[in-house]
Chains A and B, each alone.
Chain A
């Protein structure tokens, strides 16, 4: 799980730096996109979509022309038809809503605990020395290994699933917040001492804003892991949810349903990430300004 987490964190990093390089191409292009911001954005978008669209259309054409069978890898039209079918039977909303609910509750619990313990361990040395070794040891356990125990403890239904997701979300958030607080600039803390701020005021006016960017990155990693773990959770026995659609599609030999579920996961995950980023953007706007200038 630590490897998965590493690559997720790396991906989050990539996403961030991707934005940077996307926002700061060669100066001529930048001037152009500043004058025509809409054009600049749609150009980026078009480039980003070119490859997947070409692949989808190519596959569609190949199957239509009889060059390929498309039984194991159905063409986009069949996947869309499956979406339409699920929607018509009223199942799409149910599965999406179920999965989303599980992720959000698990994310809420895991992120809440991660923020709390991360802040505690970051701010207090005794707390860190007491808690961190244990938490690090627990982190070394692949989270899926908890599944049998969670099922014994919490039953086969929602609680065990939410618990697994919460565990997955917890660690990146905990680590991110703890590190962010520990690496805060001592020089800024001295500014607060010079103006004789109380501990609470220092936390509110310096600590919190200073660690916000890293905290948000940690939350995004956590959310990504939440989606990873909801699949695992729904694999272990669910009667609804996108993960159920995956298992059902495999057992019933419906690759179009599997692909539809995969696409739904991708869209749902991206949408949740976008909401998180948009909701927190005002808090770190001061940083985005710097990014635009890079």
Chain B
């Protein structure tokens, strides 16, 4: 449903943040994107969100090109980015101003219920914990009725318990709606717990290094042998991606890239 072809992004300062990325995301799939910092994950997400323009290549959703923010694509940023002057319900309804009031209220109530924040509808963002704020951000993106949800390291600022809780919310949302999800993370456990497919990226220039299918049934247990096996594979791929020279030019003396 999301087709990315030969996508490249070179910033004004000449930095090649993405080079020739090809990726197809299937409807209803959860794709996790992992990689060290600086390998272009955020750049990729911003291009998918239509917030930046690619230098070359195309993005299409159901055949329609994505050049600006697209109604079928919802975005959750790394920070909640809630509007501090609006209460939770109004924040969730922020993208729904074109709808009649009754439908808007219904959608907001539904989205809040799905992230378990119904009883906090009238509170201000300042009075919520970090995890609750991020749940509001997810509800806000979800309420607008996207088909694809993009999340860029959405849980990286949260503690492990809160994170596990948010994984559960995200998965139940996904299960109930058949949403397609693309999530960036630097947490291998998070990727393995959530994703159907993990894309490993490497830097300089940013591109796809490897792709790992996670064929584990849900719900997944953090300590199960299956999860641990995939985690090991993923760690190995990440390690490999971090050693750029070794793979591309094997004839060079091994010590050079130190």
Which residues of A are interface residues toward B (Cβ below 8 A)?
187-188, 190-191, 193-197, 201, 205-206, 209-210, 284, 286-287, 289-290, 293
Contacts and interface: CB of A to CB of B under 8 A. Distances in A.
10 contacts: A188-B81, A190-B77, A191-B94, A193-B51, A194-B75, A194-B95, A195-B144, A196-B69, A197-B97, A293-B126
Contact of A209 (B71, B83, B126): B83
Given A188-B81, A191-B83, A201-B97, A290 B126 contact: yes
B156 to A, nearest CB: 16
- Secondary structure of the A contact surface, majority rule: helix
Given A187-B81, A206-B83, A209-B83, A194 B51 contact: yes
A209 B97 contact: no
B81 A209 contact: no
A190 B81 contact: yes
Interface of B: 49, 51, 68-69, 71, 74-75, 77, 79, 81, 83-86, 94-95, 97, 124, 126-127, 144
3 cross-chain pairs, A with B, having the tightest CB-CB distances, nearest first: A195-B95, A286-B85, A209-B85
Given A201-B97, A289-B124, A196 B51 contact: no
Interface hub of B71, B74, B85, B86 (most chain A Cβ within 10 A): B85
Contacts of B127: 289, 293
Nearest to A291: B126
A286 B82 CA distance: 13
A286 B84 contact: yes
Contacts of B124: 286, 289
Given A195-B69, A206-B83, A286-B124, 8 more contacts: A191-B81, A193-B69, A195-B95, A197-B97, A209-B85, A286-B126, A287-B84, A287-B85
B77 A187 contact: yes
A177 to B, nearest CB: 17
Contact of A194 (B69, B85, B86): B69
A190 B127 CA distance: 23
B113 to A, nearest CB: 21
Contacts of A197: 97
A201 B84 CA distance: 17
A216 to B, nearest CB: 13
A195 B82 CA distance: 13
A206 B85 CA distance: 9
Contact of A195 (B77, B79, B94, B126): B94
- Among A187, A195, A290, find the residue whose CB has the most chain B CB atoms closer than 10 A: A195
B52 to A, nearest CB: 10
A258 to B, nearest CB: 45
Given A191-B94, A293-B126, A196 B49 contact: no
Contacts of B75: 194
B126 to A, nearest CB: 5
A201 B97 CA distance: 10
A243 to B, nearest CB: 40
Contacts of A195: 69, 94-95, 144
Nearest to B137: A191
Contacts of B81: 187-188, 190-191
Contacts of A188: 81, 83
A188 B86 CA distance: 13
Nearest to A206: B83
Contacts of A206: 83
A17 B79 CA distance: 28
A270 B94 CA distance: 38
Contact of B71 (A196, A210, A286, A293): A196
Contacts of A194: 49, 51, 69, 74-75, 95
